[in-house]
């Protein structure tokens, strides 16, 4: 049990004791979950002290931890496999299509059952091994878009393979260029631009991959207005897989930290895509926002009730009503333990996201949470 | 009797949402009192209020305005039809206006519970309210008119 002031109540807390006004009138009962309605009701008695429960649902927390560990292990394993795959690309005939199918199958299963956890993992950006985790994250995002577009199981498998292999051509380019931390010179840039074709051509020689997979790889840097490379195709000419991978690729690159530029918040990355909707095609972008929501997983937000939290889950079809972990109360004080609320529950319908936290404010929060 | 204290929180909040999310400056048109039922527009968001203040508030907009609102709520995404995504964006605007208005009401000493807004599509919507008179507040801007229909009264103590 913990004593707090009404001004510090956060939606989702549980009352540990009945609340009375100074005249003894019952305002709220023990065991009641704190809602926006209750907080408004108590504004008139802001000096009241209340007792709230501190214990959380231990069993649920334990199960969730286990689940996160499981998904995280699978995610890690696919990244390692991808690393092996890409590093052993000297001889494409050694590539094992069944292993790839297995990797895609695992990712797809996890997306069907634990997509929120998987997306959370994809948004935890690590510095090193950018290219391998990037490839896996692009696959996760591509499968999520493909599912939203209603692709069949077979199509999803092919899409997943194309996504896992989309940057395979990079291994044909001098390592010091693609590992380079500084901006590329124009000559190096020309070299990098060869990777879609190099990748598709080297896999094409093996005859293990369908035309759709190869086109997904070859055309993933084409843009709907014809400004892409290598062929300068336009919207109707670009394969659907390539269009999906393009959106996933650009989004993941934007939210990743690179030595030569700052990382965008997930929301800014989405906004960035919409600003360039001519390049990506509305159909894909619409599916992407439906699946990722307006405030994607990993976004820090401020609520209209004053609390600060992070988006940790998406309710399908409710892009404005994510599940949140609340870290700070209305007074800006860090909570002992984050509190979870789901904005998609009716009781929370008037709790809204006011804005996305970025810049210095975001930096301070990330430091706070890291030192915790 | 409808008090101005019940009206301002909704109007202020609507101005704030248009400004904050759409960077849109709006003006208040001429207020008028009309007899119930309220005549809707293409898209209507209905909110019920109970507690110290009782009644309904209905936000009404035309399809064109709805598309524009959805577009700025969706970070500038072009919105061309009243689909699910568009409806959830318009609903969310109703949630924000209502949530902020409810907070302002409670800060002014009127404690109320507000039902989650529900969306009704169709010009022929007629909403009958218990009060015989409804205050119609047009909020006019470059994206069209957002009409706030307010039928609120103070609860008997």
pLDDT of residue A57: 66
What does the pLDDT average to over A303-316?
A: 93
What does the pLDDT average to over B34-57?
A: 90
- Is the predicted pLDDT of residue A259 greater than 70, yes or no? no
Which residue of A lies nearest to B74 if distances are taken between CA atoms? A294
What residues of chain B lie within 8 A of the CB of A349, using their CB? 95, 99, 116-117
- Is the predicted pLDDT of residue A321 greater than 90, yes or no? yes
pLDDT of residue B76: 85
pTM as predicted: 0.88
| pLDDT tier for residue A95 given thresholds of 50, 70 and 90 | confident
Task: Output the CA angle B72-A309-A56, nearest 5 degrees.
Answer: 140
> In a mutagenesis test of the B interface, which of A292, A352, A353, A354 is the best target, namely the one with the most B β-carbons within 10 Å?
A352
Q: At what angle do helices A282-292 and A240-255 cross, to 10 degrees?
A: 50
CA distance A129 to chain B (A): 32
Answer whether A319 sits within 8 Å of B85, measured CB to CB. Answer: yes
**Tokens matching residue A259:** 């030595």
Would you say A243 and A210 are in contact if contact means Cβ atoms under 8 Å apart?
Answer: no
- DSSP annotation of B124 reads T
Answer whether B95 sits within 8 Å of A290, measured CB to CB. Answer: no
Contact residues, B window 2-61, toward A, CB-based 8 Å cutoff: 20
Helices in chain A by DSSP H: which ranges?
Answer: 36-42, 58-87, 97-123, 130-148, 153-164, 175-178, 186-192, 195-204, 211-218, 240-255, 266-275, 277-280, 282-292, 359-371
pLDDT digits (tens, 9 = 90+) for A121-149: 888 766 556 788 899 999 999 999 999 99
Q: At what angle do helices B4-22 and B63-73 cross, to 10 degrees?
A: 60
Strand partners, A225: A234
What residues of chain B lie within 8 A of the CB of A270, using their CB? 75
pLDDT > 90: what percent of chain A?
49
Give the separation between CA B31 and CA B14, rounded to whole angstroms. 15
How high does pLDDT run on average in chain A? 89
- Is the predicted pLDDT of residue A368 greater than 70, yes or no? yes
- Residue B153 has phi, psi (to 5 degrees) of -140, 160
pLDDT > 70: what percent of chain A?
96
Sort A361 into a burial class: Cβ within 10 Å, 0-12 / 13-18 / 19+: middle
What does the pLDDT average to over A66-80?
A: 90
pLDDT of residue A126: 61
Q: Which residues contact A222 (CB under 8 A, 6 or more apart)?
A: A228, A229, A231, A232, A233, A237, A238, A242, A246
CA distance B118 to chain A (A): 11
Answer whether B102 sits within 8 Å of A350, measured CB to CB. Answer: yes
Terminal-residue alpha carbon distance, chain A: 21
- Is the predicted pLDDT of residue B66 greater than 90, yes or no? yes
| pLDDT tier for residue B42 given thresholds of 50, 70 and 90 | very high
pLDDT of residue A180: 73
| pLDDT tier for residue A210 given thresholds of 50, 70 and 90 | very high
pLDDT of residue A121: 86
- Residue A320 has phi, psi (to 5 degrees) of -100, 0
In this structure, is the dihedral angle defined by the CA atoms of residues B63, B65, B66 and B68, taken in order, positive or negative?
positive
Give the separation between CA B40 and CA B125, rounded to whole angstroms. 5
Give the separation between CA A189 and CA A193, rounded to whole angstroms. 6
Answer whether A270 sits within 8 Å of B84, measured CB to CB. Answer: no
| pLDDT tier for residue B131 given thresholds of 50, 70 and 90 | confident
Q: Which residues contact B115 (CB under 8 A, 6 or more apart)?
A: B47, B48, B49, B50
pLDDT of residue B130: 76
Helix, strand, coil share (%) of chain A residues, nearest 5: 55, 15, 35
- Is the predicted pLDDT of residue A56 greater than 70, yes or no? no
């Amino acid at each position: 049990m913990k004593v707090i002031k009404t001004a510090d109540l956060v939606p989702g807390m549980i009352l540990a004791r009945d609340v009375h006004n100074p005249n003894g009138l019952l305002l709220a009962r023990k065991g009641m979950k704190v809602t926006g309605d209750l907080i408004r009701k108590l504004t008139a008695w802001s000096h009241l002290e209340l007792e709230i429960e501190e214990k959380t649902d231990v069993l649920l927390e334990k199960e969730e931890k286990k689940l996160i560990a499981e998904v995280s292990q699978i995610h890690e394993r696919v990244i390692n496999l991808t690393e092996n795959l890409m590093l052993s690309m000297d001889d494409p005939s050694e590539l094992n299509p069944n292993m790839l199918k297995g990797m895609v199958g695992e990712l797809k299963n996890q997306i069907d059952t634990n997509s929120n956890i998987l997306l959370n993992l994809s948004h935890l950006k690590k510095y090193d091994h950018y290219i391998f985790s990037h490839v896996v994250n692009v696959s996760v995002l591509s499968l999520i878009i493909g599912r939203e577009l209603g692709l069949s199981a077979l199509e999803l498998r092919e899409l997943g393979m194309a996504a896992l292999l989309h940057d395979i051509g990079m291994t044909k380019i001098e390592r010091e260029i693609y590992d380079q931390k500084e901006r590329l010179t124009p000559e190096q840039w020309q070299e990098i631009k060869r990777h879609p074709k190099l990748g598709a051509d080297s896999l094409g020689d093996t005859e293990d991959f369908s035309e759709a997979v190869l086109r997904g790889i070859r055309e993933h840097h084409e843009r709907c207005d014809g400004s892409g490379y290598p062929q300068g195709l336009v919207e109707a000419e670009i394969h659907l897989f390539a269009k999906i991978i393009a959106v996933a690729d650009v989004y993941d690159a934007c939210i990743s930290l690179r030595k030569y530029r700052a990382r965008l918040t997930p929301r800014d990355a989405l906004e960035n895509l919409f600003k360039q909707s001519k390049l990506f095609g509305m159909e894909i972008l619409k599916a992407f926002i439906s699946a990722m929501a307006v405030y994607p997983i990993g976004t820090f937000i401020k609520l209209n009730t004053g609390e600060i939290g992070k988006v940790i889950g998406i309710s399908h079809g409710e892009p404005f009503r994510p599940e949140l972990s609340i870290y700070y109360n209305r007074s800006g004080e860090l909570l002992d333990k984050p509190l979870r609320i789901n904005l998609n529950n009716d009781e929370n319908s008037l709790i809204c996201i006011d804005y996305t936290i970025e810049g210095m404010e975001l930096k301070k929060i990330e430091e706070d949470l890291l030192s915790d | 009797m409808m008090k101005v204290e019940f009206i301002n929180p909704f109007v202020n909040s609507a101005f704030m949402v248009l400004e904050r999310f759409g960077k849109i400056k709006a003006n208040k048109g001429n207020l008028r009192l009309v007899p119930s039922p309220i005549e809707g527009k293409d898209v209507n968001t209905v909110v019920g209020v109970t507690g110290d203040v009782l009644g309904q508030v209905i936000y009404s907009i035309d399809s064109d305005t709805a598309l524009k609102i959805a577009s700025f709520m969706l970070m500038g995404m072009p919105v061309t039809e009243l689909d699910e995504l568009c409806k959830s964006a318009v609903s969310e605007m109703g949630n924000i206006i209502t949530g902020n208005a409810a907070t302002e009401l409670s800060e002014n000493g009127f404690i109320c519970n507000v039902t989650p807004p529900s969306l009704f599509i169709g010009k022929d919507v007629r909403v009958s309210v218990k009060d015989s008179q409804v205050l119609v507040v047009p909020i006019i801007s470059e994206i069209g008119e957002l009409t706030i229909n307010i039928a609120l009264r103070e609860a008997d103590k």
